Amino acid sequence: MKRKQYASDISREKFEEIEPLLHSVRLRTKPTTVDLYDVFCAVLYLLRTGCQWRFLPSEFPKWQTVYAYFSKWSQPDQHGVSVL
């Protein structure tokens, strides 16, 4: 199912450049069940609009899933730098 496009979305081509970095943070215990492009665009939507997590449009993955990825991507590494 194709979701509605938002002004905050990035192109798939640009996303492909950063996708390996986003995957590197994730533990490989289970296969990914969501499209990381949609998760990343949801994070961009939240940052752009300032909406609350629970008010994330339903076209994006569940807000809990988006928050879990955002939390992982925001954690600083040993040098104090996060993926985001």
Q: Alpha-carbon distance 73 to 82, whole Å?
A: 6
pLDDT for 83 equals: 87
Q: What percent of the chain has pLDDT over 90?
A: 71
Residue 54 and residue 13: Cα distance in Å, rounded?
29
Q: What is the pLDDT of residue 44?
A: 97
Write down the pTM of the prediction: 0.89
How confident is residue 1, by pLDDT bands cut at 50, 70 and 90? Answer: low
How confident is the model over 2-42, as pLDDT tens digits? 789 999 999 999 999 999 999 888 766 777 889 999 999 99
User: 30's torsion region: left (phi>0), alpha (psi -120 to 50) or beta?
Assistant: beta
* Residue 36 to residue 66: CA distance in whole angstroms: 9
